[in-house]
Structure 1
């Protein structure tokens, strides 16, 4: 027996309608080609990876995650953290492919494969194999057991039931509700020795992907969950709905609402970023033109604007330049005080110089409120 899907109330239906309206609106906006699209999407994916891994205690900057995604050595993240990030990125890449596969059914092999991709570097944790014994989740500070997974002997049948439901059950449910319930049931079954939280969040993304909800702002709430105050709420609602041990029931509305709220707020935030991206890019184009610089330099400035730093290799790849061209552009931007160089050789990177820093400060002073779709009150953007 799995945790059951709750009956939605009028407020939930209204929130679902608003999420879908935002999805359609952003789909039309993203259908138009913009110079900043690639960088914005890369940034969104990096933030999703950052959010899911930070929940598990693996901290890395968005800039280092983008380096890992590009096959580069991160500047600050440890080797151990880089392996976690790399494994999770590999799993998300496979999920993106599965989302578009013309023939697909959920099965244990797919789930085990995703778990192996995520934690395959921890061979002592038998990645990709269902746990053979009990599992206990402890509070990171008190070490008190806060959740005990179902007995190992029950796990194969529970996974079979979940997989059957994923393939054939609840097909008339709204996609976001179905994905939320997949997340809840997998994390409560806790079928592997490690990686269960990340796997459950990834499964939520896969369920949405199979519904062709694939853009990062709608297929993932991981960035939103990765915020400290939201992470606390995330664990609290899982504890409130799921209890301290496996005890499935149908009173799961609080969990579904938590996920719908997260989707709504994340979509609002991304819509703001998309609008800001166009404004920033246009502003930088004007500044580059006034300084007599090549228009392609806007790409480097935009990267430094939305991130803490830009690396020559990434700028070179984004603009399809030779190493010499990219290096000359970055030297010109440094001479014009748009960028500030740091480090040498492989560690060489550029951050916002005085002129770009002033522009960033002006935008940072803007506070755009996000509307909580349930409480109908304004929440400030972090």
Structure 2
């Protein structure tokens, strides 16, 4: 049978070096996560929210991390429109399932799984035949000019291409590094573009699933979706996809530039996650000392950690994290505001807490100390 997919490239010496550095960072991260810390749950939730934010922002669906965390917990977001909230909720459902699949003892890729994930993401768009292979041609247009920048393969080819991709996911290039296989899964799926909508998000989610199945770290710690969602990185992401794939389905070119782009993203995101993990321990210990000196309940540290990493905190989030009654949560947050740690805004359901003057000083200090990430290819 003639191979119809993009072919996994051979890595050069510099790519091998970058790959080894990524694996060392991920291995270190795995060992550090083996120990239980009070902040682990919040850090995992924030990483998942940032992955959801990144992948959806690429498609033009913008929401704050705080609103995404609210949607993840079943709450109404404060700022995000209902239209965008539906996109966020669909993607969160698919990523949650991917987290389960990453740990499943019995697992194989199949077309039904791929269609099911697509339905989870865009099932609210009944006019886009969610979870079903597109019935006709598909074109990707430049948002600004309307120009067609990519035309997917003929619809008659799509079932066979999906079957070949599934066979490769289960049995192909198994000796290739997981990061490389994940990148190639992403590239092939986004170029096949098998559905009427959700193809980009599906391809990024598939990359996360392939990494999760490698058991290096859990999906939220191995995903590069947050990194890809940064505006300047998104531009480079589209550029390298266009460079490798061209304007038409043509799986015959060199794919090394794409794999290299993904390896760089993994390296930089791994640096960022390692920094956040180290920072979490440092800030938690610092806040514990401050809370003790103020005579406040030690559990209130989790509220302060939330506003350290995000812009705001809602009472319901803190209440759920610490398993408190509404009255206990209200009193704790009131005490934190009285001590200058938090500043309340809004009323009733719209009420939230932002960093107060004391927390603002700590946030500024940590921001000033942060060193730039190192580009592994420079």
TM-score, with structure 1 as normaliser? 0.97
Offset from partner CA, 1:29-76 (integer Å, 9 cap, x none): 111111111111111111010000000000000000000111111000
Q: Give the 5 Å matches for 1:120-139.
A: 120-139=123-142
Offset from partner CA, 1:236-287 (integer Å, 9 cap, x none): 0000000001000151000000001100100001111111111111111111
Q: Give 5+ residue unaligned stretches, structure 2.
A: none
Q: Give the 5 Å matches for 1:51-130.
A: 51-130=54-133
Q: Give 5+ residue unaligned stretches, structure 1.
A: 376-382
SS of residue in 1 equivalent to 2:353: strand
TM-score, with structure 2 as normaliser? 0.98
Aligned to 2:269: 266
Q: Give the 5 Å matches for 1:1-382.
A: 1-216=4-219, 218-375=221-378
Give the 4+ runs in structure 1 shifted more than 6 A: none
Offset from partner CA, 1:107-132 (integer Å, 9 cap, x none): 11000000000000000000000001
Aligned to 1:380: none
Aligned-pair distance for 1:219? 2.6
Does the 8 Å CA contact 1:52/1:226 hold for their aligned counterparts? yes
Work out the CA distance in 2 between the residues paired with 1:279 and 1:217. 21
Does the 8 Å CA contact 1:106/1:167 hold for their aligned counterparts? yes
Work out the CA distance in 2 between the residues paired with 1:15 and 1:365. 28
Does the 8 Å CA contact 1:342/1:348 hold for their aligned counterparts? yes
SS of residue in 1 equivalent to 2:140: strand
SS of residue in 2 equivalent to 1:365: helix
Does the 8 Å CA contact 2:142/2:149 hold for their aligned counterparts? yes
SS of residue in 2 equivalent to 1:296: helix
SS of residue in 2 equivalent to 1:350: strand
Work out the CA distance in 2 between the residues paired with 1:303 and 1:251. 44
Work out the CA distance in 1 between the residues paired with 2:171 and 2:375. 33
